[in-house]
Amino acid sequence: MTQPQLKVAGVSKRFGGLQALSDVGITIMPGQVYGLLGPNGAGKTTFFNVMTGLYTPDSGTFELGGEPYKPTAVHDVARAGIARTFQNIRLFAEMTALENVMVGRHVRTRSGLGGAIFRTPGFKAEEAAIAARAQELLDYVGIGRYAEYKARTLSYGDQRRLEIARALATDPKLIALDEPAAGMNATEKVVLRELIDRIRNDGRTILLIEHDVKLVMGLCDRVTVLDYGKQIAEGTPAEVQRNDKVIEAYLGAGHQAH
């Protein structure tokens, strides 16, 4: 029997008086693109933060490929095989595109920080291999020609693609993308869609937070919709789009429309 790539159950998270997530669970099969939708403030990014070890949940169980994992530290989550991008881009602005991807790769290296400080022969060989792999990843996401540019000089859309390259550098089984299309124009979105398709076809599983309905409909196998931290619908994009609770959540008072 195929194990789910990711199975998260019963996740709750409270911030003071605000219940940001209430008993949320998702199951993603290998090779799926899974969408996490919901109006502003619904709890989508909080869910990412919990499953990648940035926030400690009040409750919840986590499995990756059938093995339990504890999202207690960001590094452990990366080693377990989960990588993510951030809604608010988190690049090293003054480092080059190549260096930003190399930093992502260090999670996977053997000589680690000690080797980097003492610049052992093993470290230097590994460093060359990491640089070569980083260049491959920049080419893969379509920004190879900007390898030596400082991250801050790249266009917004290219910075988002650089974030994806950095996440891929950890060789994740599952990559979680928090609004990768935000701020992109229509042409950039088409390119992004092709990239996400390629990542899936190369054997990775994808969890996607996205507001663009066209992108979600075209890419996602299944979606979950959150509203005020509660899961109000789960199914194929077509099923969810005609769900009354979903229509209400997006059109109801108090929510900003996208």
Ligand X SMILES: Nc1ncnc2c1ncn2[C@@H]1O[C@H](COP(=O)(O)OP(=O)(O)OP(=O)(O)O)[C@@H](O)[C@H]1O
Binding residues for Mg ion, total number by CB under 5 A: 3
Q: Integer distance in angstroms from the first to the last C-alpha of the chain?
A: 40
Q: Strand, coil or helix: what is 52?
A: coil
**What is the rounded distance in angstroms from the CA atom of residue 54 to the CA atom of residue 251?**
31
Nearer to Mg ion, 36 or 151 (CB): 36
Q: Would you tell me how many other CB atoms lie within 10 Å of the CB of residue 73?
A: 12
Say whether residue 45 binds ligand X (CB under 6 A): yes
Q: Which residues contact 237 (CB under 8 A, 6 or more apart)?
A: 35, 216, 217, 220, 222, 223
Identify the residue among 4, 10, 30, 41 touching ligand X (CB under 6 A): 41
Say whether residue 85 binds Mg ion (CB under 5 A): no
- CB of 228 vs ligand X, minimal distance in Å: 8
Nearer to ligand X, 90 or 124 (CB): 90
Tokens of 204: 């990775």
Q: Which stretch binds Mg ion (CB under 5 A): 45-53, 133-141, 196-204, 235-243?
A: 45-53
Say whether residue 170 binds ligand X (CB under 6 A): no
Identify the residue among 5, 46, 52, 96 touching ligand X (CB under 6 A): 46
Which segments within the chain are labelled E, that is strand?
Answer: 6-15, 18-28, 33-37, 59-64, 67-68, 82-84, 174-178, 205-209, 222-227, 230-235
Near ligand X in 11-30, by CB under 6 A:
15, 18, 20
Sign, CA dihedral 199-203-206-211, equals positive
Write each residue from 77 to 116 as x if it is in contact with ligand X (CB under 6 A), else as -, in one continuous string.
Answer: ----------x-----------------------------
Kindly list the residues in this chain that would bind ligand X in the complex (CB under 6 A).
15, 18, 20, 38, 40-46, 87
